[in-house]
Structure 1
C-alpha cells in the first residue's frame, strides 16, 4: 500500500498481549526458558540463534504487529512514523530513507524494515545485524504471514497465531454481517486531495471488495500501468457519482465531509448528499497490521448505514 501520493506514492498500521507467568522463577525465568528453547529459529533466509532483545522496527505496521504479539518490550527503537501504540519507542530513525550507521548505533539484534531503500539490507548484513523484510502487504495472507514470522523470530509464536486467528474471525464476521442489496454500492477512496485513489487490485481495494463494493477508480487503471494508484479527474469522479466516499486524508490534509462538500461540483454527488462520507484514521487506513480489522469495520458499518 502507499500513502500521500501528491509527490510520492502513498504507503498503505491492538491491544498489547500480556506476558504474565505463574512460575516463581525471578524475572519471569519460565517464560525466558520457553522462549530460549524455541531457538534457533529460521524464517526464510534468516536464522536467529537466540531470542532478540533489542529490536529496531523501521515500519509502523511491523511496530504494531510486534506490540500486538507481546514483543513490545523487546522493541528498543522504532522509526519516526511508528506512533502506535503510544508506548512504542519512537525515534529519529527513518523507515523511508534508512541509514545503516544510525541503525547500527542502536546495537540491535534484529532489524525489521518494510523496504530495502539504499540497499540497507546488504549494509546491515555486512555489519552482521539480522534483518527481516516486512514488505507492504498485497493480500491479507501477507499480513498474517508477517505476524506469524515475527512471532517465530521474537519467541512469541503462540501469541502471533492467536492474533492471526482473531483477525480472521473478526473479519469473517464483519464481512458475513454486511447487508446485501440488489445492486452493488459504489465507492471512492481518497488518498489525498489531488484525487489519487486505489483500485481493487491493491491491498486496500481488496478489503472493499470483501464488503461487496464496486470501485469507481478501477477504470482509471484498467491496464495496471499506474500500479493500482491512479489519479482521477474531477469530471470523471463527479460523473461516476459514488454512493460512498472514504477519506484517508483526514490527518494529513484535514479533509472532511465539509471540505468535500465545498469542492466545486461535489455537492450533488450521492455520497455527499446522503452524508455518506466516511472520515478514516489515516494511519489505520495505510497500515497492514492488526488494526486492519478496524478498517474493515469502518467499511462494513458504512455499507450498513447506506443500506439502512
Structure 2
C-alpha cells in the first residue's frame, strides 16, 4: 500500500502541467455525490461526441459498452454517473464501489495486450505510462487520460468529461453540481476567525501535503492553516517533514491519511519520540481518515470534507 500511495503523490506532481479537461460537445447539463446503482437508466447523450481530455481531443463515435478503467477515481466517477453497467473491467486498485469488476490490470504498469484482451471500446487512465495511449491507439481503442486534479474545478470537469464520453451527461452534471453544493454548504458552516493549524500526514516517512495541493485546497475551504507551507521543500507540494519541525509547529489538528496502509492512529503518534505532548494528541484532535478517500479526487471528496468539517467544529469548540 505504501508503494501505491507514494506513486499517487508522484502522479499528482507529474500532472501539474497537463491540460485541463472539459467537455466540448455532446449533450450535458445537484443531487448526490453517492455512486448510484449500475442498473439505473439515465438519459443517453448523442453521439458522436468529442471530449477534451489530458491527452487532447478524443472523439467517440458511439456509446461505449465495454469500458476499462485503470484509475480508481475514474471508476468511482463512472459508477456515480450511472455508467457502472458499461464498465467491463477495472484495475487492481479500484476497490470502490464493491461491485466494480476488479481485475489484475495495473494503472501503474499498464500492459496493452492485457487491456486489449478485455475487449474495451473505451479505456480511462489517470496517466499515460509505459506508452499505453500510443499502444492502444495502434489497435483503435479510444483512450481518455483524466489526470489527478489539482483543483476542484478539474474534478467537476472530469465528471462531465466521463458523462459526455459514456452517454451519461445529464447525470454527470447533476453529480458535479451536487458535489459543489455540498462543499459550499460545509464551507459556509465553518467557524470563522479561529485560525486553527493542521498537519496532513501522507505516510510515516513523514511526507505532508501543502495548501497548494488538491487535498490542501479542501482544508482551505475551512480556513485552516497548513504547517507544511513553511517547511523546506514546500514548493514541490509534498515536503518531507522532520519530527522536530512538526513538534515545533504543534498543530491544533492532525489528519492521518495513512491509517490503512500503515496502521497509524492517535496511539501510534503518541508513541513517537517527542510527540506525546503535541496539542492535537493531548486534546483529542487526531483525525483518522480513510486513505483511499483522502487520495482520490472523485465524488467521495464530499466524505473527506465532512470529516474535516466535523473535526474543525470539534476543535473550535
The TM-score, its normalising length taken from structure 2, stands at: 0.88
| Pair 1:217-2:228 in alignment | yes
The answer to whether the 8 A contact 1:3-1:11 is kept is no
The answer to whether the 8 A contact 1:65-1:147 is kept is yes
Deviation string 1:104-156 (CA, Å, 9 cap, x unpaired) is: 11110000000011111111111110000010000001110000000000000
* In 2: Cα distance, 1:273 partner to 1:11 partner: 35
Write the mapping of 1:3-18 to structure 2, written as runs, cut at 5 A.
Answer: 4-5=5-6, 9=9, 14-16=34-36
| Pair 1:168-2:168 in alignment | no
CA RMSD, 1 decimal: 1.9
* In 2: Cα distance, 1:18 partner to 1:9 partner: 30
* In 2: Cα distance, 1:200 partner to 1:221 partner: 14
The TM-score, its normalising length taken from structure 1, stands at: 0.90
Q: Which of 156, 180, 201 lines up with 2:192 in the alignment? A: 180
Write the mapping of 1:170-249 to structure 2, written as runs, cut at 5 A.
Answer: 170-181=182-193, 183-221=194-232, 224=235, 227-249=236-258
The answer to whether the 8 A contact 2:11-2:127 is kept is no
> CA 1:281–1:118 in 2, change beyond 3 Å: closer, same or farther?
same
Q: Which of 151, 154, 178 lines up with 1:139 in the alignment? A: 151
* In 2: Cα distance, 1:172 partner to 1:195 partner: 31
Cα offset, 1:168, TM superposition = 0.6
Paired position in structure 2 for 1:86: 98
Q: In terms of Rg, which structure is larger?
A: 1
Deviation string 1:235-275 (CA, Å, 9 cap, x unpaired) is: 01100000000000000001001101111111111101101
Q: How many residues align?
A: 291
The answer to whether the 8 A contact 2:190-2:312 is kept is yes
Cα offset, 1:56, TM superposition = 0.1
| Pair 1:68-2:80 in alignment | yes
* In 1: Cα distance, 2:257 partner to 2:191 partner: 24
For structure 2, the residue ranges without an aligned partner over 5 or more in a row are 13-32
For structure 1, the residue ranges without an aligned partner over 5 or more in a row are 22-30
Paired position in structure 1 for 2:310: 301
The answer to whether the 8 A contact 2:250-2:278 is kept is yes
> CA 1:99–1:147 in 2, change beyond 3 Å: closer, same or farther?
same
